[in-house]
């Protein structure tokens, strides 16, 4: 890949202008509210991006990418959010599973999976969390019995985004129950269409159903679908989580910036009290800090062997920033709350409420607030363990 330091600022600015122009011409209209219709629109958008060379921007060219720098990829993420364009449907494969595949995959695995992942022909989900293993991921109970030709997988995953529309799943499974809990885990690439895989969507408070629970009942996984070393999956899991958090943080920060600008425009049109004005000022300061934090997190994920405890600082800041921004938006809704929430106005009540509800989960997904605070206390501040 091209080092960001070797790219001239003028070249990056030209790339930004090119991305902005292309997005102005081709970004899709607002997505349908219906979840299934929205999924179809996202698949079409992924195909458009791939055909136009906007997918895998910083992936190596030998694996189907554009071979450009990380800075180029960050520019397109920012401009996409500013244009109101959605992520490609295969975002989990591109930004979460894909980097781990590039780092740890064999030549045969890269030849098999890289191109379909980039093109969107095959989509991915991430099978990590379980009913009794969320923030304490190493307590997972899903088991993969090792056999000569592969594994027999049995267990349950939960909160698996878009599992019902995925072709493959990156699954953490315990392959040696006698080892310490971080040592006996393997990272498997599981065919979601294989016999024994059952997916059940979970309806959220927002009405969406992007999360699922997944059941594996004696699912056979070939040995060739083991990513990385046997029993050595924890290192890969940490690599994946580092990219999940940093990639999400960058995109979400850019989206929050757009929401902030829309909120500021609404305040100017509708007026507000001094309390809301103070809150919007605080939101601006928070978003400015998140911009620096998210870029630092992405670079750290690309260069570090394992996630840094600084990731927990970034996670906490992003959750607080999101909740603060949409809490302010809900306060601003004020007298508009009596209006039908489905009616589009300068204050889009339906979207404000949806964003507010979604923001409540920001303290939990990707590692709960309590877990992140513990990591900061113990690993950054050097405070004694509380247990």
Active site residue 244: yes
What Rg do the C-alpha atoms of the chain give, in angstroms?
21
Q: Hey, how many other C-beta atoms are within 10 angstroms of the C-beta on 199?
A: 18
Give the span between the Cα atoms of 382 and 271, in whole angstroms: 46
| Buried/exposed code over 122-133 (b: 16+ C-beta within 10 A; e: otherwise) | bbbbbbbbbeeb
Task: Spot the catalytic one: 71, 130, 210, 244.
Answer: 244
Q: Which of 187, 22, 212, 194 is nearest to 105 (CA)?
A: 187
**Do residues 189 and 167 make contact, with C-beta atoms less than 8 angstroms apart?**
no
Q: Which residue has the tokens 């409420």?
A: 353
**Token pair recorded at residue 335:** 């007298």
Dihedral sign from CA coordinates of 128, 210, 243, 218: positive
**169-188 as b/e, with b when 16 or more CB fall inside 10 Å?**
bbbbbbbeeeeeeeebbbbb
Residues ≥6 apart with Cβ < 8 Å to 125: 92, 160, 161, 162, 163, 166, 168, 169, 170, 192, 212, 214
- Residues with catalytic function: 244
């Amino acid at each position: 890949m091209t080092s960001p330091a070797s790219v001239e600022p003028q070249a990056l600015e030209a790339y930004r202008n090119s991305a902005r122009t292309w997005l102005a011409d081709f970004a899709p209209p607002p997505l349908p509210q219906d979840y299934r219709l929205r999924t179809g629109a996202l698949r079409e958008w992924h195909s458009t991006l791939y055909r136009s060379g906007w997918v895998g921007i910083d992936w190596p060219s030998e694996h189907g990418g554009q071979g450009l720098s990380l800075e180029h990829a960050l520019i397109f993420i920012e401009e996409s959010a500013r244009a109101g364009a959605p992520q490609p449907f295969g975002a989990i494969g591109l930004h979460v599973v894909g980097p781990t595949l590039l780092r740890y995959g064999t030549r045969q695995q890269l030849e098999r999976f890289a191109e379909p992942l980039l093109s969107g022909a095959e989509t991915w989900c991430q099978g990590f969390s379980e009913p009794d293993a969320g923030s304490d991921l190493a307590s997972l109970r899903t088991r993969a019995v090792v056999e000569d030709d592969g594994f027999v997988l049995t267990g349950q995953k939960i909160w698996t985004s878009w599992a019902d529309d995925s072709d493959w799943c990156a699954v953490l499974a315990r392959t040696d129950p006698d080892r310490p809990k971080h040592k006996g885990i393997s990272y498997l690439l599981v065919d979601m269409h294989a016999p024994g895989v059952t997916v059940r969507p979970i309806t959220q408070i927002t009405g969406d159903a992007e999360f699922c629970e997944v059941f594996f009942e004696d699912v056979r996984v070939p040995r060739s679908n083991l990513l990385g070393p046997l029993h050595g999956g924890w290192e890969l899991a940490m690599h994946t989580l580092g990219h999940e958090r940093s990639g999400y943080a960058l995109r979400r920060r850019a989206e929050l910036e757009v929401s902030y600008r829309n909120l500021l425009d609404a305040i100017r049109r509708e007026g507000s009290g001094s309390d809301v004005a103070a809150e919007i000022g605080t939101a601006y300061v928070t978003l400015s800090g998140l911009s620096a934090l998210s870029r630092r997190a992405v670079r750290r994920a690309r260069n570090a062997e394992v996630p840094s405890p600084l990731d927990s600082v970034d996670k906490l800041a992003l959750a607080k920033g999101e909740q603060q921004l949409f809490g302010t938006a809900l306060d601003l809704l004020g007298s508009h709350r009596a209006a039908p929430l489905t009616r589009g106005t300068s204050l889009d009540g339906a979207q404000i409420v949806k964003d507010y509800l979604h923001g409540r989960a920001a303290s939990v997904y990707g590692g709960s607030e309590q877990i992140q605070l513990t990591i900061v206390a113990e690993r950054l501040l050097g405070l004694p363990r509380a247990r």
